[in-house]
Amino acid sequence: MPLDPFSPFDPYGGAPAPDSLTGHLLVATPAVDDPNFWRRVILVLDHGLEGAMGIALDRPGGVAVDAVRSMARWHAMATAPPELFTGGPVSRNSLVGVARLASRPDDSPGGAVPPSGWRILIDDERPIGTIDLSSDPDSVAASIVGLRIFSGCAGWAPGQLEDELDEGSWYVVPAEARDAISADPEGLWRRVLKRQGGALALVAAFPADPTSN
């Protein structure tokens, strides 16, 4: 919801709208009451003419990674809490892996080579990207310093996300590499808003239950 009801809602906080939201965060505004997205922080994995897909970064699922037989060998690399996270309400039987590399890939001869099946989302000295969970964990272990596995995702049909932005459902902010594998995922909503400063930092203090004030 806009902080000033007489001003139009700006999901970008005055910043120019990017051509694609891939690699950005969608932060639910206080207007969102859908339990699937209430106070959620979504990392956008893909955004284009065919729609958008993302994963909720702040919803531990309570199931250990090694409780899923096919994922057991990834457990040792999983960042605490080493659980399967609930990425969203769509395709709950599908798993998405997000990994942080030990160093930025280098195109120079002899430079660091990204693991097979890794696709960058957030650039950093230790960048974040999706990783192919069907690959051999032992072959990529030396390249990874953090890993999180998500069950399901959030999906939007063409134009649907844009409509939700216009309605005031999401703030769009830059993602930092640490967001995707935070050791305190439940506090991510407040932290991401607070670091933006200005009006969004004020939204971070918005009570979970406004009627309690």
Identify the CATH number of the domain in which residue 207 sits: 3.40.1740.10
What number of residues does the chain have?
213
Residue 7 belongs to a domain: no
What span, in angstroms and rounded, lies between the C-alpha atoms of 183 and 24? 20
Residue 8 lies in a domain: no
pLDDT at 212 over 80: no
3-state secondary structure of 104: coil
With beta carbons less than 8 A apart as the criterion, state whether 189 and 28 touch. Answer: yes
Sign of the Cα torsion 49, 123, 41, 31 reads negative
Is residue 109 predicted with pLDDT exceeding 90?
no
- Flag whether 18 is in a domain: no
Residues spanned by the domain of 109: 24-212
Domain-embedded: residue 61: yes
Does some domain include residue 19? no
Q: Is residue 166 in some structural domain?
A: yes
The stretch 107-127 carries a mean pLDDT of 79
> For residue 111, what pLDDT is reported?
54
Report yes or no: 209 and 50 within 8 Å, Cβ to Cβ: no
Q: What is the domain count for the chain? A: 1
pLDDT-based confidence at 2, cuts 50/70/90? very low
Please give the Cα distance from 149 to 134 (Å, whole number): 12
Q: Is residue 167 part of a domain?
A: yes
Task: Tell me whether residue 5 is in a domain.
Answer: no
